[in-house]
């Protein structure tokens, strides 16, 4: 058991270093800036680390060692420490261990966490879909065109069965953003943008395993488009919530088969 723990720890440290070093020129540019011109260093650290976590470059369970991160990002430890606490508040990292042995690690990816996130986003986007359906027909015309074009591009990929997870993800993200941002207020948009990357972790990590069911999501999107076209806010809200609920059900099957990440 002790040998296994050392192996896991060494692998996690290596993965962390490789991911952090991947920032390359961008990190060097940040380090070269005069301190007074760096802007909000804590926000810079937060955004870079969040992006690495969301895109899987810092995998679930990876140790987040403050000194290593500060060195790699070319920042002092103070903004890095603040960024780690910020990431912890938003659920991207968790504290593991107690006392002097406590460590920050990238949060595990579990079925229960996915279910909570997808439910939250489903309700947020349900409100956004409702507001979009309440726009005038003239206002909805442009939105509907964008929604249809994006969804048909997804349909083509589903029919061709092309394994392009990044392209599929970007199209799906565009569909949902178009729907919620068409008529949502700034608070709703801000809350959505805060939560969405947390769900994105799951989509990106497990996307390759759910491509065979993409046609189902396309069909659910068409129901939402039809509701918006009719100006039916109840159906639009219900449709996007169904899409997210079915999405997490599809994801749960994959997690059951592949296992949860970072929970060892």
Domain range for residue 12?
A: 2-106
- Domain end (from 53, 72, 106): 106
- Are residues 249 and 120 located together in one domain of the fold? yes
Q: Given this model, what pLDDT does residue 12 score?
A: 54
Residue 100 CA: distances (Å) to CA of 95, 96, 97: 12, 11, 8
Is the residue at 263 inside a domain?
no
Number of domains in the chain: 2
Is the residue at 137 inside a domain?
yes
Is the residue at 42 inside a domain?
yes
Q: Does residue 68 contact residue 20 with C-beta atoms inside 8 Å? A: yes
pLDDT digits (tens, 9 = 90+) for 104-138: 999 998 999 999 999 999 999 999 999 999 999 99
Residue 104 CA: distances (Å) to CA of 12, 84, 152, 223: 12, 8, 42, 43
List, in sequence order, every residue forming a beta bridge with 103; answer none if it has no partner: 96
* Arithmetic mean of pLDDT, 157-174: 85
Among residues 246, 243, 245, 224, the alpha carbon closest in space to that of 130 is found at 224
Q: What is the CATH number of the domain that holds 161?
A: 1.20.120.530
- Are residues 86 and 130 located together in one domain of the fold? no
Q: What's 261's DSSP letter? A: B
* Arithmetic mean of pLDDT, 183-198: 93
- Are residues 128 and 237 located together in one domain of the fold? yes
The structure tokens 């990440």 sit at: 261
pLDDT digits (tens, 9 = 90+) for 201-222: 888 777 666 677 889 999 999 9
Kindly indicate the confidence band of residue 2, based on its pLDDT and cuts at 50, 70 and 90: very low
pLDDT digits (tens, 9 = 90+) for 230-241: 999 999 999 999
């Amino acid at each position: 058991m002790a040998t296994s723990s050392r192996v896991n720890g060494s692998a996690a440290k290596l993965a962390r270093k490789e991911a952090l070093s991947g920032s390359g020129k961008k990190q060097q540019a940040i380090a070269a800036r005069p301190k007074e011109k760096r802007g909000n260093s804590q926000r810079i650290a937060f955004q870079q680390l969040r992006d690495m976590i969301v895109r899987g470059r810092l995998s679930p369970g990876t140790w987040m060692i403050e000194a290593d991160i500060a060195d790699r990002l070319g920042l002092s430890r103070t903004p890095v420490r603040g960024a780690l606490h910020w990431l912890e508040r938003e659920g991207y990292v968790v504290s593991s261990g107690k006392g002097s042995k406590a460590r920050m690690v990238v949060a595990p990816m579990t079925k229960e966490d996915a279910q909570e996130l997808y439910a939250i986003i489903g309700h947020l986007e349900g409100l956004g879909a409702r507001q979009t359906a309440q726009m005038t027909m003239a206002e909805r015309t442009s939105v509907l065109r964008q929604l249809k074009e994006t969804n048909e591009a997804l349909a083509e990929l589903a029919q061709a069965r092309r394994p392009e997870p990044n392209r599929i993800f970007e199209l799906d993200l565009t569909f949902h953003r178009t729907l919620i941002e068409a008529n949502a207020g700034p608070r709703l948009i801000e809350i959505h943008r805060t939560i969405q990357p947390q769900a994105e972790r799951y989509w990106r990590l497990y996307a390759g395993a759910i491509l065979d069911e993409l046609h189902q999501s396309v069909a659910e999107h068409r129901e939402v488009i039809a509701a918006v076209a009719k100006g039916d806010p109840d159906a639009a809200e219900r449709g996007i919530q169904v899409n997210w609920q079915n999405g997490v059900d599809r994801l749960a099957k994959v997690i059951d088969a592949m296992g949860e990440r970072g929970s060892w």
